Chain A
Amino acid sequence: MSDVLAVAEHRRGELRDVSYELLTAGRQVADATGGDLHVAVVSGDTEAFADNLNREGVDYVHTVGDGEEFDHDVYVQAVEALHAEIDPQVLVMPNSVNGLDYAPAVANRLDLPLATDAVGIEYDGGLTVTREMYGSKVETTVEVGGDQQAVTIRGAEWPAAEGVGDAEIAPFDVGIDDEGGATVTGFEEVGGGDVDISEADFIVSIGRGIEEEENLPLIEDLVEASDATLASSRPIVDNGWLPKNRQVGQSGKVVTPEVYLAIGISGAVQHVAGMKGADTIVAVNTDPNAPIFDIADYGIVGDLFEVVPELIEEFE
C-alpha cells in the first residue's frame, strides 16, 4: 500500500496539461512513500494517451477503453476498480471541472478522506497538503488522516513531467455498468462574437473594483482614448455587464497581449490562468496585498476612479 495512483484527464482527443502535472505530483508522493507510480487513463484513444503519459518516473499506465469522452459514471467505476486492484496509498486527481465531477464520488464510495485543490503535497509517514482559503488570502496546511487518501491538485502548480519513461502499459478491464442516468449529448463553444480578445496587443481589463455597471463608460472612455481592447474578469460577465467573449480566465479566454492593464482585479487564480502569459502586466488596485501584484510588472496602489480619469487625459 505504498503506491500512488494518478488519473489523467483528456478532452476531445487531447490530454490536458494537468495530466502531465499529475505525473510530477504523483512521482513526488511515490518517492516519499517508496512506491510505484500508476497512471490511469480512461476513455477515448487510450493507447495514444498511454504513449504520451509514459514519461520519466511513471511505472505503470492502465488503460480503460470504455467510452469516448468524459462520463462521470465510467470514471467513478474505473477508478474504484483500479483502486481496489492497486491499493494505493494516495489517489491523485485533477482539481478541474471534470475532476470535481467524479473525485468526490470516488472518495465517498471508497471512504477516503478527500483534500481538494491542493497547491502543495508532502508525505512523511502521513499526508499533508497545502490549500488556500478565503480567495487566496491565506494558505493552510492540512493533515489528511485515514489509512489511504485522495487528493485533487490545482492546475499549473506542478511542472509537467517530461522525457520518455519505460512504463508498463496494459489495458484494464472494468466491466462498466453504464446505467448512469447522466448522458453527455454534445459540446458547445461559447464566447464567440464581435471581438476576439485573444488577438489583442493591448488589453484593458476590469474587475469587481468597478463596483457598478454605471461606471463602465469610464473604462470605455479609457479604452477608446488609448486604442485598447476591453476585457474583464468573471464577475463582470456573471453580472451581465459584458458579454462572455470578453471574459479572461480559466473558463473564458486565454490572452497573451503585449500589455495587460488590470483595473480593479484582485487576481484570483482562475483569472490569472488566463492572462499570466502577457508580456507586461500592470495592475491598479486599492489593496496592496491583492494577488494581482504578485504577477504584475508595474502597479498603482490607488483608487481607479481617481487614476483612470487622469490616464484618459494622458491619451486625449
Chain B
Amino acid sequence: MKVLVTVKEVAEVADDFEIEGTEVGERYLEYDLNEWDDYAVEEAVQLKEEGPVEEVVTVTIGPERSEETIRMALAKGADRAVRVWDDALEDADLLDVETKTNLLEAVVEEEDPDLVLTGVQSGDDNFGATGVSLADEIGFQWGAVVNALDYDHDAGVAHVHRELEGGVEELTDIELPAVLTIQTGINEPRYASLRGIRQAQSKEIATKSLDDVGLDAGAIESDLTMTAMYEPESESDAEIFEGDAGETAERLAEVLREKGVAE
C-alpha cells in the first residue's frame, strides 16, 4: 500500500519584524518543515518500517525554495516527492483551502494512495481545513486531529484516537482509503541521519506545473483575498520588573510571598 504525506514549508517570523504591505518582510522569515507535517511524515515512515506500507510519497505545494524542506522529509525516510508549483501561484499571497484541495486532488488521482496523512494545520496561515476538504473531494473517509493511530492491515481499518478539547480523546475506526490529519505528539519525529541525508540527495522530486496535473488557472482562483496585515495591538498592562536577573528575581519573589504561595 501507498501513503501520501502532505509536506508544507512554512515561514517562521523573527521576534522583531516589519510588515510590508500584506506580507512580513522576507528578511524576517525563516523557512522550515511545518511542525505538524513532521509528525505526519514520521507516522508514515513508521508504517513503512512496520510492514504494511510499501511506499511513502510526499506532496508539496511550494516554490523551488521548498526543495530543501522536501529533502528533509526524504532524509527522514520518505521514498520520493512530488512538488506542485506554477508561476500562476507565485502572485497569490493566500492560497485558500479550495485551491489547495484542487491541487492535491490532482496529485491523489495520479498517485492513487490508500492513505493520505496531513498535518492538523500549518504554522503560518493556520487554516486547519485542507485535509478534511481533500478527503471529501476525493471520496475518502477521514479523521481530523488524530493523536494515536493503530492500523489493522487485514481489516483495512485505522483505529485512531482524535484529540478533543479538555483531555478527552474520541476512539474511532476509520475504513481506508482515508485522510488523517495528524496532531503533534502522536510520535517522536526522528532527526535525519547522515546516511538518510546522503540518500535523500538521490531521491526523486518530481516537479509539476498546473498543466502537468491537468488543471487550468481557474482551479486556483482564490475566493479569499488578504486586504491587510498588522501587528495586533498589545493589550498588556503587566508590570514589567526592571533590572538585572538578581533584581527581577527578588521582585518576583516578593510578589510570590505577598500572594502567600511561597515563603
Q: How many residues of B contact A (CB 8 A)?
A: 86
CB distance A282 to B132 under 8 Å? no
Top 3 A-B pairs, shortest CB-CB distance: A113-B223, A310-B249, A202-B261
Residue-wise, chain A 110-128 has the 8 Å CB interface mask toward B (1 for contact) of 0001111100000000001
Contact partner of A184 among B98, B132, B171, B250, CB < 8 A? B171
Chain A residues whose C-beta falls within 8 Å of the C-beta of B230 in the assembled complex:
138-140
Q: Smallest CB-CB separation from A291: which chain B residue?
A: B232
Tell me the complex Cα distance, A144–B94, Å.
12
Can you report 15 residue pairs joining A to B where beta carbons are below 8 Å apart?
Answer: A76-B136, A100-B128, A104-B133, A105-B135, A138-B230, A146-B223, A180-B141, A182-B143, A188-B161, A189-B167, A228-B261, A254-B166, A282-B256, A294-B236, A306-B245
Extra pairs beyond A282-B255, A294-B234 (14, CB < 8 Å)? A97-B164, A97-B165, A104-B97, A105-B132, A105-B136, A138-B13, A138-B230, A181-B175, A182-B175, A187-B164, A235-B184, A239-B188, A303-B245, A315-B263
How far, in Å, is A40 (CB) from chain B's closest CB? 19
Residue-wise, chain B 165-203 has the 8 Å CB interface mask toward A (1 for contact) of 111111111110010010011001000000000000000
Q: A187-B171, A296-B238, A303-B245 are in contact. Are A133 and B126 (CB under 8 A)?
A: yes
CB distance A104 to B129 under 8 Å? yes
Q: Smallest CB-CB separation from A313: which chain B residue?
A: B249
Q: A100-B145, A114-B97 are in contact. Are A142 and B132 (CB under 8 A)?
A: no
Tell me the complex Cα distance, A98–B164, Å.
7
Chain A residues whose C-beta falls within 8 Å of the C-beta of B167 in the assembled complex:
189-191, 244, 251-253
- Which chain A residues numbered 291 to 305 have a C-beta less than 8 Å away from chain B? 293-303
Tell me the complex Cα distance, A104–B15, Å.
32
Tell me the complex Cα distance, A49–B171, Å.
24
Chain A residues whose C-beta falls within 8 Å of the C-beta of B131 in the assembled complex:
104
CB distance B184 to A234 under 8 Å? yes
B80 at the interface (CB under 8 A from A): no
A101 at the interface (CB under 8 A from B): yes
How far, in Å, is B18 (CB) from chain A's closest CB? 11
B212 at the interface (CB under 8 A from A): no
CB distance B98 to A258 under 8 Å? no
CB distance A300 to B240 under 8 Å? yes
Tell me the complex Cα distance, A116–B97, Å.
9
Tell me the complex Cα distance, A184–B165, Å.
16
Q: A100-B132, A117-B127, A189-B167 are in contact. Are A183 and B263 (CB under 8 A)?
A: no
A132 at the interface (CB under 8 A from B): yes
CB distance A104 to B248 under 8 Å? no
Q: How many residues of A contact B (CB 8 A)?
A: 103
Chain B residues whose C-beta falls within 8 Å of the C-beta of A315 in the assembled complex:
253, 262-263
Q: A183-B172, A311-B249 are in contact. Are A299 and B164 (CB under 8 A)?
A: no
CB distance A145 to B250 under 8 Å? no
CB distance B226 to A141 under 8 Å? yes
CB distance B245 to A133 under 8 Å? no
A59 at the interface (CB under 8 A from B): no
B55 at the interface (CB under 8 A from A): no
Chain A residues whose C-beta falls within 8 Å of the C-beta of B17 in the assembled complex:
137
Tell me the complex Cα distance, A307–B253, Å.
11
Tell me the complex Cα distance, A97–B183, Å.
11
Chain B residues whose C-beta falls within 8 Å of the C-beta of A182 in the assembled complex:
141-143, 172-175, 178
B259 at the interface (CB under 8 A from A): yes
Tell me the complex Cα distance, A288–B248, Å.
15
Contact partner of A226 among B181, B250, B262, CB < 8 A? B262
Tell me the complex Cα distance, A23–B219, Å.
34
Contact partner of A183 among B135, B142, B173, CB < 8 A? B173
Tell me the complex Cα distance, A157–B19, Å.
25
Tell me the complex Cα distance, A104–B98, Å.
9
Chain B residues whose C-beta falls within 8 Å of the C-beta of A288 in the assembled complex:
240
B239 at the interface (CB under 8 A from A): yes
Tell me the complex Cα distance, A308–B169, Å.
35
Tell me the complex Cα distance, A177–B170, Å.
22
How far, in Å, is B33 (CB) from chain A's closest CB? 15
How far, in Å, is A1 (CB) from chain B's closest CB? 17
CB distance B124 to A300 under 8 Å? no
